[in-house]
Amino acid sequence: MEANNKPKLEEEHGKAYAVAEEDAATTNHKMMMKKHLSDDDESAAGEPEENYRGWKAMPYVIGNETCEKLGTIGTTANLLVYLTTVYGMKSASAATLLSLWGGTVNLAPVLGAFLSDSYLGRYATIALASIASFVGMILLTLTAAVPSLHPHGGTGPSASHMAVLLVSFALLAVGAGGIRPCNLAFGADQFDPRTPAGRRGINSFFNWYYFTFTIAMMVSATVIIYLQSNVSWALGLAVPATLMGLSCALFFMGTRLYVRVRPEGSPFTSFAQVVVAAYRKRRLPAPKGELFDPPHRSSLVSKIAYTDQFLCLDKAAVLTAEDELTADGTTAVNPWRLCTLQQVEEVKCLVRLLPVWSSGIVYYIVLTNLGNYNVLQAMQTDRHLGRSGFQIPAGSFVVFNMLALTVWLPVYDGVVVPVLQRVTKREGGMTQLQRMGTGLVLSIATMLVAAAVERHRRAAGDATSCFVLVPQQILAGLSEAFAVIGQVDLYYKQFPENMRSVAGALLFLGFAAASYASGVMVTVVHRTTGGSDGRPDWLTQDLNQGRVDLYYLVIAGMAAVNLVYFVACARWYRFKESDSDAAAAVELEEKDKVSVTAGAAAPPPPV
């Protein structure tokens, strides 16, 4: 018996030593992770864990976010009216200018994210962008407040007037390019992702971030637009500029509390190296043995566990006789021929996310078209409030969307998530993909309800109560609470840590693509649905003569096809897993095996 037990004992000893070595490696890794807490080299020499201030930093972060959103949204929400009334521009010219500027604003975050993750860091990027946005708002306010900076007497703007206006627009675009991709990731950086409390804090922060965003949109769509349209343009633009100044002040007041992640160079260069190296080695057989995987030294980016997807990219990490290493054997002499396994896995993270991201474009098409045509629907309803002479502005019905989202998010975060966690035993209650899928289902229901409401409105005529439009807005708000926040959460957690600002930019890139696609759809429907006999098209100016309900059904059909596509992408998708996560899973599995064995027949203690 002793002879039979001896190999088992040696095996158990070997497992014990392996687990001990793994624990030591994990401990060392955690100690190294503590060094990434500041943009400054002086602060990076091993800050203590309590530097993650979490919710203590949130009054400054969320206060900055709220005031910044109030300022930017309040400034831009009514610009079309400003350009056509104060600046005397023709509506077509003003709409074209704002479309080009809007596209630039949504594309600028890609460049801002690159600069942030590669060179500046999120703190410096937000600081510089906030100042640029504040100066741009002041300049735009001056175009309304100073008589010499805007045209008079119904004449169009002069070259100098347009120069001042375009400079203010350029500064606002710079501000958006730096703030939009970084502010969400910067807020999440304040929580320790390695602790359960920190991960819960990140999840809650995403919800509260979007909560404050909708509050800002509601105030902008009501109070600030009222001041601009009915009191004074100078005052209506000065209030957002003041709020932006307050945003800057709040941001800098919290400087001593912030965790500031240092950039580690351009991730795009690393990605390009993987693609080039894999292409140069494309004729090599599929790698079956060891890949170039030197010790991981980054204190910012976690070591990603190997995945067997996109095996063609693995060839970039195949060490051949032509590849040369440095003296310490940890770096390739030519990184465009040989990349590390970590670099390859980072590229895989991005490639895996792109199909999921593309499904979001169709979802944003739903929101964009509903937002545009809901205003036109409201204009052809009875918008009087009771028997009073007050008429609800047609553009204010989006408030019901925001109100639904604003009410739902605290309920979801405080009530629904704890219940789901007890049922599913999963942190957050459901995965980000499940949350996105729920939002996509609700978007289909939104368009079906909108189509039914429009058919009813056409049958009843302009005497229809405007409040028939409320259900579709509520459904749209609930859909955003699931789909948009789930998408934000997925991008932040699944991108490599050195590309989290790019993750924020990806969201706005989806908005831009949806805006351009919606414009193309409207043009195509205008040209193809009108009759040769003069019969109006579906989207004619008078909705009673058009068929917006059929247009909504087409979009609902697109959303349904997109849902099937998303489910296929979600089933194929693999969540990113770090080496420490994989090691913990293996350790837990080994402990479970030992527990089962102990329950059957406990082995004698090692001697």
Q: Output the pLDDT for position 268.
A: 78
Amino acid at 369: N
Q: Output the pLDDT for position 599.
A: 41
Q: Which two tokens stand for residue 290?
A: 């060891």
- How many other C-beta atoms lie within 10 A of the C-beta of residue 483? 26
Complete domains list, the chain, with CATH: 51-263 (1.20.1250.20), 267-295+302-339 (no CATH), 347-577 (1.20.1250.20)
How far lies 548's CA from each of 302, 493, 554, in Å? Answer: 50, 39, 10
Q: Output the pLDDT for position 265.
A: 67
HEC string for 83-145: HHHCCCCCHHHHHHHHHHHHHHHHHHHHHHHHHHHHHHCHHHHHHHHHHHHHHHHHHHHHHHH
Annotate 204-230 with DSSP letters as a single string. HHHHHHHHHHHHHHHHIIIIIHHIIII
Q: How many residues are present in the chain?
A: 607
Spans in the chain with pLDDT lower than 70: 1-50, 53, 77, 91-92, 95-96, 99, 153-154, 264-266, 289, 298-301, 388, 394-395, 501, 504, 531-534, 578-607
- Tens digits of residue pLDDT in 452-495: 999 988 888 777 888 888 999 999 989 988 998 888 888 878 88
- Tens digits of residue pLDDT in 287-333: 776 788 888 776 666 788 888 888 889 999 998 888 888 888 888 88
Measured between alpha carbons, how far is 58 from 567 in angstroms, rounded to an integer?
Answer: 35
Measured between alpha carbons, how far is 344 from 270 in angstroms, rounded to an integer?
Answer: 9
Q: Count H helices, E strands: the chain? A: 19, 0
Q: Output the pLDDT for position 474.
A: 92
Measured between alpha carbons, how far is 319 from 202 in angstroms, rounded to an integer?
Answer: 39
**Rg, Å, the chain Cα set:** 28
